[in-house]
Structure 1
Amino acid sequence: MGILFGFLMSRAGATTYDYHVKMFLFEDMQLMKVIGTAVVIAMIGVYLLKRFHVSAIATGTEVDFVKKPYQQGLIAGAFLFGVGWAMTAACPGTIPAMVAEGKVGAVFSLIGLLLGTLAYGILQSFIANNGSYKDAFKP
């Protein structure tokens, strides 16, 4: 599924830096159409999963979509995500496909993505332990 997803993203132009730049400059909306199509397909998929009470393959339990509560910092995080996407012309979904195409710049985006995820995990652990460094790195 991952290879198929990467192939389809590549064919749609989602791994092409120029399409990202043109989208953010509002010059070409091809990539926005791809994103919009993906959103519509995902909405239909979620509706069907809920409607037919589909069970998870691994656990056998019904697939459930729990609404997450608002968290402080969500707006700032979304802003940082958007800035990172605009600066690198790559979002987390396109980075592996870009690396597979041999785009060297995507390797740096992948490293940044991994370091950011690590930093987020450490920060969340730190916050969960009431600001204590002592227990922040325990699994």
Structure 2
Amino acid sequence: MTEQRHPLFKPLIFVGGLIFGFGLAFSHMARPEVVLDFLQFEDLGLPFVMFGAAIVSGIGFALIPRLRGTAPLTGNRYERRLKSFDRNVLIGGSIFGVGWGLSGICPGAAYASLGVGNVTILWALAGMFLGAYAQGYWRSHQTETSSNPTTAD
């Protein structure tokens, strides 16, 4: 059975993405040189943008579940979805950090970077898609291998 979503779900997701992209471009976080300057401790504007976003989302995550029991567009209950801190999180986060440092941009800002005319970011986006595909391919084969027990003759 498929989940019924509110008819405004996709348009509002699109509008949210537009606001996110505009905010990244307006704060200059869609420019890799700004992010690289931050990583070299030369421009500390990025933490202010990140903390501002964290404060707004933190207030939202704290208040909205108290005001409403379910999400307005999906009807799902508000609840925390915790991911345990394990080896995969540590390795994946490290790889993500290296990619972020090499390209100077994180995935969300990479799309916004296209909007400000940075077409060379397509190389980084292609690498992100290829890396995600390779990880999914590897994980699906790991699952198949572990779910097919071998029998000893």
Question: TM-score interval w.r.t. the shorter chain?
Answer: 0.7 to 0.9
Report deviation, 1:12: 0.5
Query: 1:111 matched to which residue of 2?
Result: 126
The aligned runs of 1:16-31 (5 Å cut-off) are 16-31=31-46
Q: Could you list the structure 1 runs, at least 4 aligned residues long, displaced by more than 3 angstroms after superposition.
A: none
* Cα distance between partner residues in 1 of 2:69 and 2:104: 36
Q: Is the 8 A contact 1:23 1:30 kept in 2?
A: yes
Report deviation, 1:131: 5.2
Indicate the RMSD between aligned Cα atoms, in angstroms: 2.0
Which structure ranks higher in relative contact order (CA pairs < 8 Å, sequence separation ≥ 6)? 2
* Residue segments in structure 1 that go unaligned for 5+ positions in a row: 133-139
* Structure-1-length-normalised TM-score: 0.84
What is the aligned counterpart of 1:73 among 69, 82, 88? 88
Q: Is the 8 A contact 1:13 1:19 kept in 2?
A: yes
Identity %: 29
Render the CA deviation track for 1:5-56: whole Å, top value 9, x for unaligned: 1111100010122211210111110112111211222211111233234412
Are positions 1:99 and 2:130 aligned together? no
* Cα distance between partner residues in 1 of 2:20 and 2:141: 35
* Cα distance between partner residues in 1 of 2:49 and 2:118: 21
* Cα distance between partner residues in 1 of 2:67 and 2:93: 33
* Cα distance between partner residues in 1 of 2:52 and 2:46: 10
Query: 2:75 matched to which residue of 1?
Result: 60
Query: 2:52 matched to which residue of 1?
Result: 37
**Other structure's SS at 1:73 match:** helix
Amino acid at match of 2:106: C
Pick closer, same or farther for the CA change 1:88–1:52 going to 2, 3 Å: same
Pick closer, same or farther for the CA change 1:57–1:131 going to 2, 3 Å: same
* Residue segments in structure 2 that go unaligned for 5+ positions in a row: 1-15, 148-153
* Structure-2-length-normalised TM-score: 0.77
Richer in helix (by share) = 2
Greater Rg by CA = 2
